[in-house]
Chain A
Amino acid sequence: MAQDQLRAFLQEKKQKANPANIDWGAKRDAWIKAVNDLYRTIEEDYLKDAKHDVELTRQDTTVREFFIGVYQVPELFLRVGDEEVIFSPQGANIVGALGRIDVTGLGGLATIVWQGGNHWSVVVSRTPSLELVELTADTLTDVLKQVMRP
């Protein structure tokens, strides 16, 4: 009797487990591709004139997300002189956007979000009102100034 109840409970939970029929695997794969595309844009476009001044490397990190599970996604390490800035993907299942990368350096932290396609934005402020600016070569410079030592 108790086992019947347990089975019925778990079956009900399973049926309700994915009410929106979201393909979390596809969401994860799109996110990993978007991250790789962004890194390529940074390397080949935004930093193309500064190639001799910066060293860029990638290394996979493990991310664990609710609904999506565990997966590998690359972090980007940008080294200038003795300073390093890390672009660290935080996940695809976030509020209000399709993914988030935290950019950290010795001077602080900045957040960039993926809003689909090649559209990435820098979060300037969350409160009292949300302010985003599109990620471009210019705004990337602002991000680096913000997170690196003065």
Chain B
Amino acid sequence: MSRRLRLSTLSNEEESLSELWEWRELQPALINAERARLFAALERGESLAEPRYFAKTKEELDSNFAFQSTETDLLSMLGMFACVEASLRVDFVKRITYRRKDDVSRKFRAADKARAKQIRLEEDVLDVWQAQPIAGIYRAVSDFKGALKLRHWLAQGRYWNAKLGRASGYNALDVFEICNRLLCSVAAYAG
């Protein structure tokens, strides 16, 4: 596939990190509103139509809402990793298409020539960025690579006991900050 043609395959549908964070912030409010609606109906002795709640006790509903909150956090983290990957890969395609002369673009073209469509995020993209003389990027890429263990665990169905990149684990805000730092560092590149 030619480089121009590859540019035409981009969907322009990738989410921004800030949109994703707004989505993540809205979910607890929606969950709490649903919880309040449900418990008010239970207190009034009303019947509810939604089969997902059928025959559940208040304790089971509470446990179910706690699950919803946890699940929202985990899915938002996966979404943030995907958002960064999309942003980096779109930047990769644009750099090889427009044949810019900066160091990152030249290294991307070399990787593209060597591997064609098998571009690897860590080796072909992140390592190139990490080697650039941009303030804070080494640490930003390093933190992101560390968090990729969490990304893989989430994306592959969480079926193993994850040993994450740091002992304290990650919450959604940690992942947002790691992702945001990396994207800001890349955006600061003048090439």
Chain A interface residues toward B at CB < 8 A: 19-20, 22, 27, 65-67, 90-91, 93-97, 100, 111, 113, 123, 126-127, 129-130
Contact = CB atoms under 8 A, between A and B. Distances in A.
Interface string B43-61: 1110110011111111001
Contacts of B44: 19-20, 22
Contact of B57 (A100, A126, A127, A130): A100
Interface residues of B, number: 17
Contacts, number: 54
Main secondary structure of the interface of A (DSSP, over half): loop
Contact of A123 (B42, B45, B55, B58): B55
B43 A19 contact: yes
A-B pairs, 8 with minimum CB distance: A130-B51, A20-B44, A95-B53, A96-B54, A66-B58, A100-B55, A22-B45, A91-B57
Given A95-B56, A96-B54, A113-B55, 19 more contacts: A19-B43, A19-B44, A20-B44, A22-B44, A22-B45, A65-B57, A65-B58, A67-B43, A94-B55, A95-B42, A95-B47, A95-B53, A95-B54, A95-B61, A100-B55, A113-B54, A126-B51, A127-B51, A130-B54
B31 interface: no
Interface of B: 38, 41-45, 47-48, 51-58, 61
